[in-house]
Amino acid sequence: MYKTKVLDISDSSIRFAAELIKAGETVGMPTETVYGLAANALDPQAVAKIFKAKGRPQDNPLIVHISGMKMLPDLVTDIPSTAKKCAEAFWPGPLTMILPKKEIIPLTTSGGLDTVGIRMPSNETARKLIDFSGLPLAAPSANLSGSPSPTKASHVFNDMNGRIPCILDDGSCAVGVESTVIAFEENSIRLLRPGFISAEELSDICENVIIDKGVIEAVAQDVKVASPGMKYKHYAPKADITIIDSGTAAFRSYCASHASDDDVLMLFTEAEGTGLTQRCIAYGATSEEQAANLFDVLRELDIIGAKKVYARCPAKTGVGLAVYNRLLRAAAFKVIKL
C-alpha cells in the first residue's frame, strides 16, 4: 500500500517522479490524450506493477512512449516508409504506431506479441519525464481496468489511491480520448483504435486506410484480434447506457415518451434538454468538445448514481468516430436507430 502523492508540475516534481521510475516504480503521468500509468518499458518487474495496479489482463499490450525519434531505432526492427511519414506528420501527438519490436522490449510490455505500440506524446510533462528518466515509458491509461480513462489527476487518484506512489497533476487533458492506434500493411494503414488523429487525416498520408471491424463492432471473447484491447469491456460506468442514433427532434420525442423521470439524458448541449423532465448532462456541441468531456461525464454518471441513461449519438467521422467508439463500449453496444 502506497501513500499516493499528487504533485503540481515543476522541474523538481518531474525529477522526483523520474527517480521513482528509475527505481522501478510506477507514476501517474499526464499526456495530451488521457493520464497514463508510466513505468520503465524495458524492466519486466516495473511493468508487472502497472498490470497489478490496474488489474489489467496480462495479454493486453502496453504502449511505449518516447520523447524523440532517436529513441526509436533501439526499440523496433523496422520502420516502414509510411510510418516515417506518419511520424513526420503527427508526432509528437496522439498517434500510436504498431511496429515489430526488438528483443530489448520485454514480452511483459508487449503482452506476448512480437510487435510494440510506440507513441511520442506532445505533453511537455510527459516528454520531460521520459527525458529526465532517460527511458522509454510503458503507459496504459491510468484507470482501473474496465473503468473510463482518466482525464484529470483526480480521476487517477480515485482509481489508484494506495496503488501507486505518485501522480503528476497537469490539469485536464486537452484531447480527452486515447491516441489513434494504427498498424501497417502492404499498401495500407489499418486503424485499430480511432482517436484525435482521424482516418481522414491518415488518408492524406496513405490513400488506403482500412477501419478495422472492431472499431464499431463488438468482438467475441474467443476471437484473435489485431488489437487485444478491443475485446475487453471498457469505459463502463455502472449506469445502463443506450445510444439513440437520431437527430435532436427525434431524440427529444423518444425521451419524452420512453424515459422515466429517474433516467438521465446525455445531450450535446443544455438547450437540447429544454422542456424535458429528466436530468440532462451536456457533453459537448462539437466532436472535439465531446472527446474532451466524455470520460469525465461517464464518471459523473456514477457519482450521481445514474441507473438508465439515453445518449445522443456522436458523429461517426473525424474525431467523432473516436467518441462513438468509446461511447459504444460504455453502452455495451446498445444503439437504437430512429
DSSP state of 169: E
CB 242 within 8 A of CB 331: yes
CB 180 within 8 A of CB 194: yes
Give DSSP secondary structure letters for 246-262: S-HHHHHHHHHHH--TT
Complex with ligand TXA: residue 21 or 98, whichever CB lies closer: 98
Residue 115 touches which of ligand TXA, Mg ion, none (Cβ within 5-8 Å per kind): ligand TXA
Least distance from C-beta 333 to ligand TXA, angstroms? 17
230: left (phi over 0), alpha (psi -120 to 50) or beta: alpha
**What string marks each residue from 88 to 127 as x (binds Mg ion by CB under 5 A) or -?**
----------------------------------------
Complex with ligand TXA: residue 291 or 331, whichever CB lies closer: 291
Q: Is 80 in the site for ligand TXA (CB under 6 A)?
A: no
Q: Is 141 in the site for Mg ion (CB under 5 A)?
A: yes
Least distance from C-beta 82 to Mg ion, angstroms? 25
Query: Quick one: which H or E segment has residue 39?
Result: strand 36-40
Q: Is 329 in the site for ligand TXA (CB under 6 A)?
A: no
CB 313 within 8 A of CB 335: yes
Q: Which residues contact 144 (CB under 8 A, 6 or more apart)?
A: 54, 55, 159, 160
Q: How far apart (Å, rounded) are the C-alpha atoms in residues 227 and 204?
A: 23
Q: Is 169 in the site for ligand TXA (CB under 6 A)?
A: no
* Residue keyed to cell 463500449: 329
Least distance from C-beta 335 to ligand TXA, angstroms? 21
**Is residue 270 exposed (0-12), middle (13-18) or buried (19+ Cβ within 10 Å)?**
exposed
Least distance from C-beta 149 to Mg ion, angstroms? 5
Q: Is 113 in the site for ligand TXA (CB under 6 A)?
A: yes
Complex with Mg ion: residue 82 or 141, whichever CB lies closer: 141
With contacts defined by CB under 6 A, how many residues of the chain interact with ligand TXA? 29
Q: Within a 10 A sphere around the Cβ of 274, how many other Cβ atoms? A: 9
| Alpha-carbon torsion, ordered 9, 14, 16, 20, to 10 deg | 120
Q: Is 227 in the site for ligand TXA (CB under 6 A)?
A: yes
Closest CA to 2 of 165, 166, 168, 157: 165
**What string marks each residue from 83 to 102 as x (binds ligand TXA by CB under 6 A) or -?**
-----------x-x-x----
Least distance from C-beta 181 to ligand TXA, angstroms? 5
Candidates 79-87, 124-132, 134-142, 258-266 — which segment interacts with Mg ion by CB under 5 A? Answer: 134-142
Residue 106 touches which of Mg ion, ligand TXA, none (Cβ within 5-8 Å per kind): none
As a whole number of Å, the CA-based R_g of the chain is 20
Residues 29-48 that bind Mg ion (CB under 5 A): none
Complex with ligand TXA: residue 96 or 278, whichever CB lies closer: 96
Least distance from C-beta 257 to ligand TXA, angstroms? 38
**By Cβ distance, which residue is nearest to ligand TXA?**
229
The cell numbers describing 75, all together, are 526499440
Sheet with 5-8, strands from edge to edge, namely 5-8, 166-169, 27-29, 36-40, 137-138, 63-65, 115-119, 95-100, 180-185, 188-193, 209-211
Q: Is 140 in the site for ligand TXA (CB under 6 A)?
A: yes
Binding site for Mg ion (CB under 5 A): 141
Binding site for ligand TXA (CB under 6 A): 31, 33-34, 36, 60-63, 94, 96, 98, 110, 113, 115-117, 119, 139-141, 178-179, 181, 192-193, 226-229
